[in-house]
Chains A and B, each alone.
Chain A
Amino acid sequence: MPKVKVDGIEVEVPQGATVLQACEVAGKEIPRFCYHERLSIAGNCRMCLVEMEKSPKPVASCAMPVADGQVIYTNTEMVKKARQGVMEFLLINHPLDCPICDQGGECDLQDQSMKYGVDKSRYELNKRSVKEKYMGPLIKTVMTRCIHCTRCIRFAEEIAGVPEIGAINRGENMEITTYLEKTLDSELSANVIDLCPVGALTSKPYAFEARPWELTKTESIDVMDAVGSNIRVDTKGWEVKRILPRINDEINEEWISDKSRYACDGLLKNRLDTPFIKVNGKLQACSWVDAFKFISDNTKGFTGDKVFGAVGDLVDVETMYMFKKFFKDVLSSDNIDFRSKNYFIDPSHKANYLFNTSIARLEEADLVVLVGTNPRLEATILNTRIRKAYLARKTKVYSIGDVGDLTYPHENVGSSFSAIGDILAKNGKIYNSLKSAKKPVFIIGESGLSANGEYVLETIKKILKDNNFLNNDWNGLNILHQNASSVGAIYLNLLKSNFLDKLNDDTSKVVYLLGADEIKVKPVNKFIIYQGTHGGINSKIADVILPGAAYTEKQGLYVNTEGRVQDANKASFPPGDAKEDWKILRALSDVFKKTIDINSHLILRENLFKEYPIFKEVDELPKSEIDSLTFKNVTPVNGNIKIADFDFYFSNIIAASSKTMDECKKAKQILQKTGTDN
């Protein structure tokens, strides 16, 4: 490994590292605009100039590879002057509109011109102005502010896989634009807002909402999908103003999907802020006491198999635990399920329902087989890892079931179940690729498990076992869940066979919907309790509505599709009379005179950890216990895997309530209708 001296400090960096990285190892801060760790190197902003011994000119440290024996200076007069010069050039055409710029306060250009720039300009000519560009409903552009770092271009091309941004014209006339000014056709598009070091690309829904120093920042976990992206929730008072990604290399690196980022305005709309009861077929606002009394009056005598509990897609582990406890202790029932549509889950072993390869190691894959899943929509962040693998080693991707564009090339091998059987029988294209693969990955989606799920799961397990890809070094078996609550619910064993069928027949008398918005309930001869955050189809048919807290309004654990437990913090509080969900269940148990003796969130967690120690290991990947995995023989089946339609922008009640998501959906529809041909 080459050794370099930076300002007298000797550091050793890996071969192929850049001078800038070496300087960082030495603890020296190098200003930069175009350089970004996760993007390719452009070297066009020139801000990272440093002095290198034996070089007559300052060198751009971001693009200069280290060589053994280099001597670098970052604090000489030459470097200072070079930086000042670059800064002056960058500011020539940059408007002085910081007071009305949304980037103000968190602007790289602002900060670095304070630290490295000069205090006045010598430029006397007119500044250029550039027309705004349309980049869709999320990205507000003020292109006059652009300093042409090209980070957005590189992001769109490399990470998002939608090479639609480019730099047109040249020299002073250079402009960043999308091809014919179209909406960016990506579920990750808003990440360019974070990447933009100036105020050229800012957030349209957040425009002029708040200044960064007014916001309270809370670290939390995203619940829009089962990936569990790490987020930061910025609040001003009660209102969630914006959501930004937090860096977590194991999961989301530093990206989040547009839904994670912008569904938050759905938290302000359509909220349930007071209990309701249905009187003469009409929902009426009422007090908590009345609502509880109404419940206890109408559910008398119904226990065991007559009560049904449906858990929704955004529910945290503590609430589910409390729900389970409530059903067991108060209603003497274990009739709870988290699935809003039928698909097969084998809870007997963790490996049967987790994303075992782990999201980070997906990058190492040299063969990806998607079985009934569209990761681009179901787990956008995870999809970027597959793309990364593709970019690194041209990973071959096969899909069983038609999925459309995935941002990387893939081959569709039909949607028949026999495509899986063929691999087992050592036939076909996939088997040929599997033979030479060292780290193959099979990703089974919920659609892949919905019909003949057991056959799909067991066959793929057997394929992996036969080819020795199911061991402690490499586990290629992956289930991709769609909902943030799914794995937590399986850990708590909230599964019941034939739940959905029985729910809508005569045996069900009481249905308790815990944030369950997707599940279809026929409101005949049933008493329906809806506990949740937003008004939707299921709250309309309910006899009682209990207003709960959304994911930003309570502390809670979420388990992502890898089985990783993560702690989401409370950033805001529930609106109006709404309460945290576990408290509602606690109070309700009182009304039934079967008090659950849990009086604080701390005690709730203690109980949870005692009963289910698996939740104790926050942020850790669950241990692989692959040796104890059992296998079953299954008989081949006929038919096709049908990938269920997935409405990315409306996939849960918060997103469906969001105005921004609605705009995104409309923009997407226009884009699909017109394409690039107008």
Chain B
Amino acid sequence: MSGKHVAKDQPTAFEFNEVNLKRIQEILKKYPPERKKSAVMPLLDLAQRQHDNWIPNAAIKKIGEILEVPYIKVYEVATFYTMYNLAPVGKYFVQVCTTSPCMIRGSGKIVNLCKKHISEKEGKLSDDQKASWIEVECLGACVSAPMMQINDDFYEDLTEETATKIFEGIKSDKLPKHGSQKGRVGFEPNKRLTLVKN
């Protein structure tokens, strides 16, 4: 594995929109004025959300200016954390969990579907530039394995059919409801409540 992939094609300018500028003011209120550089992570997150799930260098510079810290310091943070994307990942960023529990429950099939429906290579944008997928380590939803995360939402209890439906939903911008795709609510046991009875 190598360091973070940083996009070669960079937009020349980045501006926070009105709503986010207000949010920045709210975020900055949480920190003492002389330590406002502490707000670097929430601001990077805001930038990522505003800018189609990835942070361009222009945004890093902008954040440096807002927080009055050198650009390299913002850049360090952005490259340190895996959840900041520094290259386009598409409007729908699919993260498929492939750690042991999900693997046992068939995450390999989901990965194959990703290859079929999104792009052949991991981390590559789909042909319509709308989505990309990566394998990730445990997302902490082993009880409903296999699962994947699309942007902020978990899609759990996947089968090949439900996953295909989701990927088709990506293409038509109509994603099914997130959560268990099998209709479970509290992630109760599949058939009967065993623990209490025994």
Q: Which residues of A contact B (CB under 8 A)?
A: 157, 163-170, 172-173, 175, 178-180, 676-678
Contact = CB atoms under 8 A, between A and B. Distances in A.
Interface stretch (B65-73, B89-97, B131-139, B148-156): B65-73
B75 interface: yes
A166 B76 contact: yes
Contact of B12 (A166, A175, A677): A677
Given A169-B80, A175-B3, 15 more contacts: A157-B70, A163-B70, A164-B72, A166-B70, A168-B4, A168-B80, A169-B3, A169-B4, A169-B79, A170-B80, A173-B4, A179-B71, A179-B72, A676-B71, A677-B61
Given A173-B2, A173-B3, A676 B76 contact: no
Contact of A166 (B1, B2, B4, B73): B73
B57 interface: yes
Given A173-B1, A676-B61, A164 B80 contact: no
DSSP majority for the B interface?
Answer: helix
Contacts of A169: 3-4, 79-80
A180 B61 CA distance: 11
9 closest A-B pairs by CB: A166-B72, A169-B3, A163-B70, A168-B79, A179-B72, A173-B3, A166-B76, A170-B80, A179-B71
A325 to B, nearest CB: 55
B3 A179 contact: no
A473 B56 CA distance: 55
A163 B73 contact: yes
A165 B1 contact: no
12 contacts: A157-B70, A163-B72, A166-B76, A169-B4, A170-B79, A170-B80, A173-B4, A179-B70, A179-B71, A180-B57, A677-B61, A678-B12
A165 B3 contact: no
Contacts of B57: 180
DSSP majority for the A interface?
Answer: mixed
B131 to A, nearest CB: 25
Contact of B76 (A168, A173, A678): A168
Contacts of B3: 168-169, 173, 175
B40 to A, nearest CB: 13
Interface string B1-39: 111100000001000000000000000000000000000
A164 B12 contact: no
Contacts of B70: 157, 163-164, 166, 179
Contacts of A168: 3-4, 75-76, 79-80
Contacts of B2: 173
B2 to A, nearest CB: 6
Nearest to A162: B70
A259 B64 CA distance: 31
A10 to B, nearest CB: 41
A180 to B, nearest CB: 7
A179 B73 CA distance: 9
Interface string B158-190: 000000000000000000000000000000000
A678 B61 CA distance: 12
Contacts of B61: 676-677
Contact of B75 (A166, A172, A677, A678): A166
A432 to B, nearest CB: 22
A164 B75 CA distance: 11
Contacts of B73: 163, 166
B63 to A, nearest CB: 13
Nearest to B82: A170
A206 to B, nearest CB: 27
A165 to B, nearest CB: 7
A114 B61 CA distance: 44
Nearest to B80: A170
Contacts of A157: 70
Contacts of A166: 70, 72-73, 75-76
A169 B6 CA distance: 11
A140 B75 CA distance: 23
A164 B76 CA distance: 11
B70 to A, nearest CB: 4
Nearest to A173: B3
Contacts of A180: 57
A163 B73 CA distance: 8
A178 B72 contact: yes
A165 B3 CA distance: 17
Output the residue of A157, A168, A178 with the most chain B CB within 10 A. Answer: A168
Nearest to A164: B72
Output the residue of B12, B72, B76 with the most chain A CB within 10 A. Answer: B72
B76 A167 contact: yes
B75 A179 contact: yes
B87 to A, nearest CB: 14
Contacts of A172: 1
Nearest to A165: B72
B80 to A, nearest CB: 5
Contacts of B72: 163-166, 178-179
A544 B70 CA distance: 54
A523 B70 CA distance: 52
Contacts of A163: 70, 72-73
Contacts of A179: 70-72, 75
A153 to B, nearest CB: 9
Contacts of B4: 168-169, 173
A95 to B, nearest CB: 17
Contacts of A170: 79-80
A678 B71 CA distance: 14
B5 to A, nearest CB: 11
Nearest to A167: B76
Output the residue of B1, B3, B57 with the most chain A CB within 10 A. Answer: B3
B111 to A, nearest CB: 24
Contacts of A165: 72
A590 to B, nearest CB: 62
A180 B57 CA distance: 9
Nearest to B60: A179
A332 to B, nearest CB: 62
A179 B3 CA distance: 15
B10 to A, nearest CB: 8
A415 B148 CA distance: 64
A165 B73 CA distance: 9
Nearest to B70: A163
Interface in B44-89: 57, 61, 70-73, 75-76, 79-80
A678 to B, nearest CB: 8
B171 to A, nearest CB: 34
A390 to B, nearest CB: 15
A172 B71 CA distance: 23
A165 B75 CA distance: 11
A598 B124 CA distance: 81
Output the residue of B61, B71, B75, B76 with the most chain A CB within 10 A. Answer: B76
B123 to A, nearest CB: 15
Nearest to B57: A180
Contacts of B76: 166-168
